Amino acid sequence: MIASENYISAAVLEAQGSVLTNKYAEGYPGARYYGGCEHVDTVEELAVSRAEDLFGAEHANVQPHSGTQANMGVYFAMLDPGDRILSLDLNHGGHLSHGHHVNFSGQLYEVEQYGVDPESGYVDYEALADHAAAFEPDLIVSGSSAYPREFDYGRIEEVAESVGAYHLADIAHVTGLVAAGVHANPIGNADFVTGSTHKTIRAGRGGMILTTEEHAEAIDKSIFPGGQGGPLMHNIAGKAVGFEEALEPEFRAYAEDVVANTRALAQVFTDRGMALVSGGTDKHLLLVDLRDSHPETTGQDAEERLESVGITVNKNTVPGESRSPFVTSGIRVGTPALTTRGFGESEMETIGHRIADLLDSPDDEELTAEVSAEVDELCETHPIYE
Ligand code: DSN
């Protein structure tokens, strides 16, 4: 139940594990620095055109090795060291590569951060606008790794335009939900859209950048030769196959099920007296704030308690966090991987109640054994690969 993980199809797995891993192909289709690129050109052209179709983008670059390298590609293309970035605070659901001080992005650029309203748990757009007017950023990042609500990309674009900043929408977590049309698409409201390709979208592992014709050349140069060497052609093949699967109508049904499953889980947690950041979820993850319901239980305790029965989640900081990121006061719980395995809302209700039982009774060994057996049975009846 790690929100950023999923199970790729057998076809994506086959493409990613193929002989394409052996090929060097610096450059882009039709303009490589090595011979023998006829077939990898076909593969990359397929991945690019499918990404452009899926998201309605004018230009796609599918070579970034990860979402963070996609963000780096945009920063290096459009900013100079010392330029200003305004992004969501990590403790409010942001991401390291959006300017955290331990990351290159926080070391190269001057970064200030916006946050969520402490009462509602939603991004405080008024405060963001005031902050942007005072700080005058060169680039504003919308996007998150632990924010359970949709971003209002139009609102952030208005702010970016008002201060003359570029707008980068990092959709890493919600790439599949955006592709399926069950989450807002920032194309048209952001100059750059970045993402990883293996989370909700279930394609080959890595990253991508979507942009307009205007910025296409700068982005391509920033990725190669600017920031990366040889592209990982096996992963690009996996992206091409996964994007094709995401273009099929069944993928929309999958994405709808992911959201329905998260909402079912949210309802159980709420009924069991657990607080959720923002009171619920619009997407594939939710963030449980344990401070009121389980004041003695840290996020780390909860992660370990659930791990002991075979339920894998991650501890996560929450807005207003006072504990360290190694301890935290919350857990992030996601449904993309379980939904791929065929878990539905009734299984989510069972799992939600069992999670609550385990947190309510941290030392009950009989309960541990009982839930452990239930987890085994659920996994056996929902195999990952036939
Ligand atoms: N590791 C990803 C996540 O779990 O959100 C982000 O990089």
pLDDT digits (tens, 9 = 90+) for 197-230: 999 999 999 999 999 999 999 999 999 999 999 9
Ligand 1 centroid to Cα of residue 353, in Å, is 26
Give the per-residue pLDDT at 59: 98
| Contact predicate 131/87, CB 8 Å | no
Residues of the domain holding 351: 252-378
Q: Is 61 in the pocket of ligand 1 (CB under 6 A)?
A: no
Query: Which of 211, 246, 281 is a domain's end point?
Result: 246
Query: Which of 227, 246, 265 is a domain's end point?
Result: 246
pLDDT tens for the chain, residues 1 to 386: 999 999 999 999 999 999 999 999 999 999 999 999 999 999 999 999 999 999 999 999 999 999 999 999 999 999 999 999 999 999 999 999 999 999 999 999 999 999 999 999 999 999 999 999 999 999 999 999 999 999 999 999 999 999 999 999 999 999 999 999 999 999 999 999 999 999 999 999 999 999 999 999 999 999 999 999 999 999 999 999 999 999 999 999 999 999 999 999 999 999 999 999 999 999 999 999 999 999 999 999 999 999 999 999 999 999 999 999 999 999 999 999 999 999 999 999 999 999 999 999 999 999 999 999 999 999 999 999 97
Residue at 1 is within a domain? no
Nearest CA owner, ligand 1 atom 1: 4
Distance CA 57, CA 213 (A): 9
Are 158 and 63 in the same domain?
yes
The whole-model pTM stands at: 0.97
Q: Is 97 in the pocket of ligand 1 (CB under 6 A)?
A: no
Nearest CA owner, ligand 1 atom 4: 4
> CATH number, domain at 324?
3.90.1150.10
Residue at 149 is within a domain? yes
Are 14 and 72 in the same domain?
yes
Residue at 278 is within a domain? yes
Query: Which of 200, 231, 246 is a domain's end point?
Result: 246
> How many domains does the chain fold into?
2
Are 335 and 197 in the same domain?
no
Are 205 and 274 in the same domain?
no
Are 180 and 45 in the same domain?
yes
Are 295 and 179 in the same domain?
no
Are 44 and 182 in the same domain?
yes
Are 190 and 264 in the same domain?
no
Residue at 5 is within a domain? no
Probe residue for ligand 1, chosen from 100, 145, 194, 315 as the CB with the greatest number of ligand atoms within 8 Å:
145
